[in-house]
Amino acid sequence: MTVPVPALRLEGIVKTFPGVRALDDVSFSVMPGEVHALMGENGAGKSTLMKVLGGIHQPEEGQIIVAEVPTVMTSPLQAKSKGIVFIHQELSLAEELSVAENIYLGELPKRSFGRVDWGSLYAQTDAILSKLRVGFDARTRVGDLSIANQQMVEIARALTVDAKAVIFDEPTASLTDAEKVVLFDVISDLKAQGVGIIYISHRMEEIFKMTDRISVLRDGQYRGTLVTADTDEDEVTQLMIGRSLDLTRAASTHDLGDVALEVRNLSCGHLFQNVSFAVRRGEVLGFYGLVGAGRTEIAETLFGLRDPSGGSIHLDGKEIRITSPVDAIRMGLSLVPEDRKGQGLVLGMNCRDNMTLPQIGDLTAGPFVAEGAEIAIFDQYRDKLDIRTPGWKQTVGNLSGGNQQKIVIGKWLSMHPSVLIVDEPTRGIDVGSKSEIHNLIRELAAQGYAVIVISSEMPEVLHVSDRIVAMYSGRVMRTFTSDEVTEDNLIQAISGIASEQVA
Amino acid sequence: MKAGKLSTFLKSGAIWGFVVLELIFFSVAGEFMSLSNKAFMDLDNMLLLLKQSAPIGIIAMGMTIIMINGNIDLSVGAIFALSAVVLLDSMTWTMFAGLGDWVIPVSWLLALLTGVVLGAINGLIVWKTGVDAFIVTLGSMLGFRGLVFMYNGENPTSYLNWTLVDFAEAQFLGLHTATWFLAVVTLVIWYVMTRTVHGRNAHAIGDNREAAVNAGIRVGPHILINFIIIGFLAALSAVVFYSESGSVNPNDGQLYELWVITAVVLGGTKLAGGSGSILSTLGGVLAIQLLRKGLGHIGADTETVNLVIGLILIAVLFLDRQLNLKGKEELKT
């Protein structure tokens, strides 16, 4: 028997971004007919690696080898032509077109004079669909399909080429249990056809059910490959998080005040259900969970951007109703949103105008804005938060991520809120500024603010929080005090493992 | 001059550079090609040009804030016409017969009120339904124009009040009444956009609506106010123009919306909202008027004028896009 050739092999991939070594000598290979899990925390380098593989980023060093042929990837389309196909978490389909048109988008079979050969288009598509054993046909409008079936269309699209390797990126994020079963069947079929599969997921249960081997990335470095049958969750977790944390746990040394915000059994449709927690003045309450676990949605509900479907919110012991951000701000809640540029800042405006945006209605002299008062506020919080900018006239879009985030935080602090909610405080911020933001959050708690921090980065949430709420698919799995929490029990709680005994 | 001022100046000053270029070109070309022996840069000619800029210019100020806010208003031409009809017709109403010349302020008020109401209708629909302003005002453009025709059929509505004509044709410090109106409107709107809470919030909403909502800004009322302002200004433009001419055709004001938008866009206001300048809009208005007048001066006919303005508009936007693309790439690296 000949030694099988890897369907896809990565050798010594290095990719750096300014200030970050995103991928540091990453090598691993996928055999034909193998399901290979790629694991790692958020920020470990998985998505960068996939972007290198898809030709979106060019690696500085290293080689991509497809079926023993070294290949330079220049674009996702070119990667596809080499047999490397991506099934992304976010679907990219034209909803108004039929399944067949979507699958052959850009490559529709033609007859003379550029007419579409509908007959062979539908025939080819139905042939592929029958392999997938799906319950819809080539003529169905994609917009009429469920999310799971739309994902099937993406997969069918992958099958139109002679795929050597198919990469699934968090494929089950938006699927129901029944739909997952169908997806797993399809993956098994692909596997039986000798396609190499890279399976990216945080969900241990799926990993252990579906995969043959598990490769782990941590801080951009390849940490090893385990054979799934010979390992267990603990070993994988160890490999994923076993770094020497330079972020030490920072439990509060100051006394906590009264409960500022309490949430009882708050629900919002299917996004999250029966969420209860309380945060005291002087406390940092962390929220940790996978993307889609409902953390951001809770923040948005508290800030009046979503209407709760049940439960109650209490501020300083009194029940309140929040129907809009205007209400929330008036009552002393403020939100530093997840998407700083899209939701937090008016990028074309200057620093001062951004900082005073929520309160210029109160900063007036006659009909005009009192610019002197605005500049005073800006100066005060520039000094307090150490915002580095040439001056208030600087357009916010030109600042670094860390300084932008400080502007958003300063914007709310200048309103003297009682509760500050920070969603992904350091997303897209370089390492140096990260610890500054972390210290700032600790300091704000010490000054008596009640702070809620939502984060997808475990070291961050461990570092800044006094207590941590672990969420999994819209539910609070467990609330940890800083004495109880370990990387292990936290990652298990947010993966939906061991929920029963601790719930 | 502080750092950053120069580039800002170049960007906001570009339209004024274009205006100066036009002046030079038409002065020189006029020497050789003009049918009249009067110089193009003749003082009277320039004063007249300012006066003729007023009807479009006054509306353009309103359009600038609408567009900075991220909306658009296609119904200004129809509001202009309907307000004019109200202005001229109300002067003949029997209930005002005893007022003498006091009918003038009453009719003015009625005309301006018409603009405010029509603008408020647009604003309320955009706010409450969430339908795109383009669609809403496309509909109201047709609807309001329909009202104009319902009023008097195909016939013009005419009434000349000589006191009013005297007022409209007066010159104060050399400038015509219409020019003064344009100047005052420009100044007021400039103050509104740069110095008031409303102006600041309108900018923020146009630039990043989501961030504005997250900052607790109530988006709807600001949109409504802007539509009321532009409705008022469209009516004011009609008041200024028809006080002098005394006769309105049901088709008057057609394509005004396009001229106005052209002027605003030439002035550098982004169609997508968030950025724009009142003073540059004034530059855009003058640039267009100069082109119309200048090309006429050297003997071109209306069709040629339209062709040239169309080409220039596309060229300017293409240049702007290239410059902005370059800026963005610089930001990326």
Confidence check: pLDDT of B4 > 60: no
CB of A439 less than 8 A from some CB of B: no
Residue with token string 């790629």: A38
Q: Which of B197, B201, B210 is opposite residue A342, by nearest beta carbon?
A: B210
Name the residue of chain B whose CA is nearest to A305's CA: B214
Residues 248-307 of A with CB under 8 A from B: 303, 305
Tell me how far CA of residue A16 lies from CA of A58, A220, A434, in angstroms.
Answer: 10, 10, 18
What does the pLDDT look like over A236-261, one tens digit per residue? Answer: 877 887 654 445 555 566 778 899 99
CB of B215 less than 8 A from some CB of A: yes
In whole numbers, what is the pLDDT of chain A averaged over residues? 86
* Residue scoring higher pLDDT (A2 or A216): A216
Domain membership of residue B308 (yes or no) is no
Name the minimum distance, in Å, from the CA of B62 to any CA of chain A.
19
Contacts of A305 in chain B (CB under 8 A): 213-214
Residues 74-103 of A with CB under 8 A from B: none
Q: What is the dihedral of CA A103, A106, A111, A113, to 10 degrees?
A: 150
pLDDT band at B3 (very low <50, low <70, confident <90, very high): very low
pLDDT of the residue at A250: 57
C-beta atoms surrounding A395 within 10 Å: 16
Domain membership of residue B110 (yes or no) is yes
CB of B30 less than 8 A from some CB of A: no
Name the minimum distance, in Å, from the CA of A130 to any CA of chain B.
43
The b-or-e profile of B140-158 (16+ CB within 10 A means b, else e) is: bbeebbebbeebbeeeebe
* Strand pairing category for A69-71 and A61-66: antiparallel
Name the minimum distance, in Å, from the CA of A461 to any CA of chain B.
24
Domain membership of residue B2 (yes or no) is no
Task: Look at B207 and A337 and tell me if their CB atoms are within 8 Å.
Answer: no
Q: Which of B197, B204, B216 is opposite residue A346, by nearest beta carbon?
A: B204
pLDDT of the residue at A499: 47
Task: Tell me which residue of B277, B140, B298 sits closest to B203, measured CA to CA.
Answer: B277
Average pLDDT over residues A183-193: 87
Name the residue of chain B whose CA is nearest to A393's CA: B4
Confidence check: pLDDT of A502 > 60: no
Average pLDDT over residues A23-31: 89
pLDDT of the residue at A247: 52
Domain membership of residue B321 (yes or no) is no
Contacts of B275 in chain A (CB under 8 A): 348
Q: What topology does CATH give the domain A244-332+417-503?
A: Rossmann fold (3.40.50)
**CA distance linking residue A478 with residue A275, whole number of Å:** 11
Task: Look at B216 and A326 and tell me if their CB atoms are within 8 Å.
Answer: yes
The b-or-e profile of B196-235 (16+ CB within 10 A means b, else e) is: bbbbbbbbbbbbbbbbbbbbbbbbeebbbbbbbbbbbbbb
What does the pLDDT look like over B240-299, one tens digit per residue? Answer: 999 888 889 999 999 999 999 999 998 888 888 888 899 999 999 999 999 988 888 888
In sequence order, what DSSP letters do the residues of A412-430 get, joined into one string?
HHTT--SEEEEESTTTT--
Q: Which of B197, B200, B214 is opposite residue A344, by nearest beta carbon?
A: B214
Task: Look at A360 and B195 and tell me if their CB atoms are within 8 Å.
Answer: no
Confidence check: pLDDT of B61 > 80: yes
Helices B177-195/B162-169 angle, 10° precision: 70
Q: How many CA atoms lie within 13 A of A227 on its CB side?
A: 2
What does the pLDDT look like over B67-99, one tens digit per residue? Answer: 999 999 999 999 999 999 999 999 888 888 888
Q: What topology does CATH give the domain A8-241?
A: Rossmann fold (3.40.50)
Domain membership of residue B245 (yes or no) is yes
CB of A393 less than 8 A from some CB of B: yes
**CA distance linking residue A3 with residue A212, whole number of Å:** 18
Q: CB of B161 within 8 A of CB of B155?
A: no
Average pLDDT over residues A98-119: 86
Contacts of A344 in chain B (CB under 8 A): 211, 214
Domain membership of residue B14 (yes or no) is no
Average pLDDT over residues A340-364: 91
Contacts of A390 in chain B (CB under 8 A): 3
Least trusted range by pLDDT, from A12-26, A50-64, B271-285: A12-26
Strand runs labelled E in chain B: 157-158, 171-172, 175-176, 247-248
CB of B19 less than 8 A from some CB of A: no
Confidence check: pLDDT of A328 > 60: yes
Name the minimum distance, in Å, from the CA of A57 to any CA of chain B.
14
Q: CB of A159 within 8 A of CB of A131?
A: yes
The two tokens of residue A470 are 């672990």
Q: CB of A470 within 8 A of CB of A495?
A: no
Bridge partner residues of A420 (DSSP): A334, A451
pLDDT of the residue at A18: 67
The two tokens of residue A336 are 């530093």
Q: How many CB pairs under 8 A join A and B?
A: 75
Mutate to test the interface with A, among B192, B196, B207, B214 (most CBs of A within 10 A): B214
What does the pLDDT look like over B173-187, one tens digit per residue? Answer: 889 999 999 999 999
pLDDT of the residue at B10: 55
pLDDT of the residue at A171: 82
**CA distance linking residue B86 with residue B103, whole number of Å:** 12
For residue B248, what are the domain limits? Answer: 40-255+270-275
**CA distance linking residue B139 with residue B145, whole number of Å:** 10
Tell me how far CA of residue A13 lies from CA of A16, A25, A60, A63, in angstroms.
Answer: 10, 5, 7, 6
pLDDT band at A488 (very low <50, low <70, confident <90, very high): confident
* Residue scoring higher pLDDT (B6 or B277): B277
pLDDT of the residue at B2: 40
What does the pLDDT look like over B33-52, one tens digit per residue? Answer: 766 767 777 888 899 999 99
CB of B203 less than 8 A from some CB of A: yes
- Residue range(s) of every CATH 3.40.50.300 domain in chain A: 8-241, 244-332+417-503
* Residue scoring higher pLDDT (A147 or A454): A454
**CA distance linking residue A419 with residue A454, whole number of Å:** 14
Average pLDDT over residues A121-134: 86
pLDDT band at B132 (very low <50, low <70, confident <90, very high): very high
pLDDT above 70 covers a percentage of chain B that reads: 92
pLDDT of the residue at A130: 85
CB of A206 less than 8 A from some CB of B: no
Domain membership of residue B130 (yes or no) is yes
Q: How many folded domains does chain B comprise?
A: 1
Q: CB of A285 within 8 A of CB of A291?
A: no
CB of A409 less than 8 A from some CB of B: no
What does the pLDDT look like over B196-243, one tens digit per residue? Answer: 999 999 999 999 999 999 999 999 999 999 999 999 999 999 999 998
